[in-house]
Amino acid sequence: MGGRSTARGLLLAAAAAALSLLPLLTGNQAVVNWAVLVLLHAALAQSWNLLGGFAGQVNLGHAAFFGLGALATRRLWLGGLPLGGAFLLGAAAAAAMGVVVGIPSLRLRGPYLAIGTLAVAEILRITVGNALPQVSSLPAASLAAYTLVPRYYLALLLAALVTATAWWLTRSRFGYGLVAVREDEGVAEAIGVNAFRHKVAAFVLSGCFAGMAGGVFAFYHVSFYPAFAFDPLWTFDPLLITYLGGVGTVWGPPIGAVFFLVLQEALALRLGELHLLVFGILFIAVVVALPGGFMEVVRNFRRPRPSRAGIRLDSDGTSTP
Amino acid sequence: MTFLTQNAIFGLLVGGLYGLAAVGLSLVFGVLKMLNVAHGELIMLGGYIGFWLFTLWGVDPFLSLVPSALLLLLVGMLLYRALFSRLIRFPDETKLKNSILIGFGLALILQTLAILAWKADERTVTTPYAGSVLPVHGVIVPLLRLGGLAVALLTLGGLHLFLHHTLPGKAIRATAEDVEAASLVGIPVPVIFLSAFGLGGALAGIAGTLVSMTDAVSPAMGLSWTLKALIVVVLGGLGNIFGTFLAGLFLGMAESISGFFLGNAYREVMGLVLFLLVLSLRPQGLFGRG
């Protein structure tokens, strides 16, 4: 085991070094731009994974948090606030919405959480589309000074932060509590886990990070319609990425994000609209046939024999302990 | 005041359609404990069937209701066989979650296919009698929507009779009540599942073809119809046909009247807000029994 964990540490360090030096290594703006998108999607997917993967609660309104973060950050930033302040306030707004939406909806069981969050996201999308129909563009001055590098580092910082949070969940009391709630809420309650509090905390955490991803989007994008940041796409893509990579695992969302954007790049050019079809089929195939995503393939490859007993923290939501 | 009455009447007429759009979803949920969030896309397919039969061969959309129901029955059964039947072996919570996920992917697939096949344009069916109205005491009742309401009522009434007074219908209800007990008394549960899903599809097909007569049909229409159906299902109380229909009328009226006061752009938002209120205050639904 020692050799393997050293190898993993080295791999992680190499990846971290490569990622933090990437803008210096390549002058190719297209590559950096692509990397920003990968990191943004990885961060957003990982934020969904914190709640959907570890706590097993399906939020179909993730776009609401992303959009709110994007909208608040953008308006405050363009209104004259320093970027850091705007970014944190955007995250705070998303977290606040997490409290307001999470407390009533997480009390309900069955399909209500998924439906309720979907409804919240649509309410916001339609309202924002009505209230702010104008496209939001960067003013000429900041457009002239626009460079990708700070966008890249902000996205990298966020992706690293959310992934570190996911990693923390695999080895903290709070994370064990979440997984217990996911596997069986009744049993979790019986062993003293306050299921409701755990779910609300995970919901707020997940929403707050999604808001930050929205903040990165607001900082990165030159011009977009405010309602676009609330589009259901910002729920669907992270879901797809998370399931492709491996739901409830630390490395699933980042791996899924790389795969997703490689595939999107390759397919969108050749197939146009058809590439969405491929994504839809892929998504269903993973849910039906490979509920553990890529990480399950990796695990099975490394561990051909049946795994250890006990709850596997990095296992998917559906497999039994 | 007349204007308000007009809006209320209009809402009532639309509401029947909402009830119909929701009842298929409710049936599938009640029997299979699965939530097909691609229900709106099935409605979209029904809408295109109405549109193309009318555009290509001039078939009256009221006649298209039959082929639409049959085709969507097949589509529903096919989708069940290919996808949703794989979830049966899972415990309830996992089954529900995975059905939502599959529906999500399915919605994307059907939407993309519709764009590829028929372009993203909004389509409408304009029959010669599309503009006919029935004036009642200064209030105008569009005949087409009145016809739609009548079809919705007939369909739901027929469904009620089927579920309560025929053997297969009773088998479906028994399965919804208790799967294990149903299979113990010899009800072929897999067949019931298959037919309930098909029936849900057929109901979506009828609803879709009705939609094509009065509203625009487009590949992107699915999500908003799924949401409407979900709202109505939850307002009406899960698995309650009569409640579902009432909730449909209620949502139609609420949308229409709030559209009157707040402007049309916000009518959908009001429906959703209302839904969230009911969800947090009365999760068993407005018409459901706690």
CB contact under 8 A, A277 and B223: no
Q: How far is B245 from chain A (nearest CA, A)?
A: 19
CB contact under 8 A, B273 and A123: yes
Give the pLDDT confidence score for residue A265 in this predicted structure: 84
CB contact under 8 A, B280 and A287: no
Fold classification of A29-302 is ABC transporter involved in vitamin B12 uptake, BtuC (1.10.3470)
3-state secondary structure of A223: strand
More confident residue, B147 or A310: B147
A119 Cβ under 8 Å from any chain B Cβ: yes
* Per-position DSSP letters for A84-152, written without gaps between them: HHHHHHHHHHHHHHHHHHHHHHTT--TTHHHHHHHHHHHHHHHHHHHH--S-EE--HHHHHT--HHHHH
CB contact under 8 A, B109 and A280: yes
Put simply, the chain B residues between 150 and 179 with a CB less than 8 A from any chain A CB are none
Answer yes or no: is B287 within a domain. Answer: no
Quick one: tokens of A45?
């997917």
Give the pLDDT confidence score for residue A67 in this predicted structure: 96
Answer yes or no: is B35 within a domain. Answer: yes
Give the pLDDT confidence score for residue A317 in this predicted structure: 42
Find, in chain A, the residue whose alpha carbon is nearest to that of B29: A111
Give the pLDDT confidence score for residue B289 in this predicted structure: 53
Answer yes or no: is B288 within a domain. Answer: no
Residue range of the domain that includes B159: 2-281
> Cα(A211)–Cα(A80) distance, rounded to whole angstroms?
20
CA-atom Rg of chain B in angstroms: 19
When divided into structural domains, chain B yields a total of 1
Provide the pLDDT confidence category of residue B60 given band limits of 50, 70 and 90.
confident
pLDDT digits (tens, 9 = 90+) for B24-40: 998 998 888 888 989 99
Minimum mean pLDDT among A152-156, A207-211, B88-92, B221-225: which range?
A: B88-92
B83 Cβ under 8 Å from any chain A Cβ: yes
CB contact under 8 A, A283 and B83: no
Q: Are A316 and A248 in contact (CB under 8 A)?
A: yes
Nearest alpha-carbon partner for A124 in A66, A188, A171, A179:
A66
Residue B1 has pLDDT above 70, yes or no: no
Interface test with A, best of B112, B231, B233 (most A CBs within 10 A): B112
CB contact under 8 A, B283 and A104: no
Query: What rounded mean pLDDT belongs to chain B?
Result: 87
Q: How far is B215 from chain A (nearest CA, A)?
A: 19
> Cα(A32)–Cα(A50) distance, rounded to whole angstroms?
27
* Complex confidence, ipTM: 0.82
Residue linked to tokens 């625009």: B216
Answer yes or no: is B98 within a domain. Answer: yes
CB contact under 8 A, B266 and A116: no
CATH number of the domain encompassing residue B131? 1.10.3470
Find, in chain A, the residue whose alpha carbon is nearest to that of B232: A115
Structural domain boundaries of chain A? Answer: 29-302
CB contact under 8 A, B276 and A279: no
Answer yes or no: is B208 within a domain. Answer: yes
3-state secondary structure of B139: strand
State the pTM of this model: 0.86
Q: Are B110 and B227 in contact (CB under 8 A)?
A: no
Question: Which chain A positions have a beta carbon within 8 Å of B265's beta carbon?
Answer: 126, 130
Tens-digit pLDDT profile for chain A (321 aa)? 457 778 888 888 888 888 887 887 887 888 889 999 999 999 999 999 999 999 989 899 999 999 999 999 999 999 889 999 999 999 999 999 999 999 888 887 767 888 889 889 989 999 999 888 888 888 887 788 888 888 999 999 999 999 999 999 999 999 999 999 998 888 998 988 899 999 999 999 999 999 999 999 999 998 899 999 999 889 989 998 999 898 899 999 999 999 999 988 888 777 777 778 888 888 888 888 877 777 777 777 766 544 444 444 444 444 433
Give the pLDDT confidence score for residue A152 in this predicted structure: 93
> Cα(B202)–Cα(B210) distance, rounded to whole angstroms?
12
Nearest alpha-carbon partner for A50 in A213, A210, A188, A258:
A210
A142 Cβ under 8 Å from any chain B Cβ: no
Put simply, the chain A residues between 52 and 91 with a CB less than 8 A from any chain B CB are 56, 58, 60
Give the pLDDT confidence score for residue B290 in this predicted structure: 42
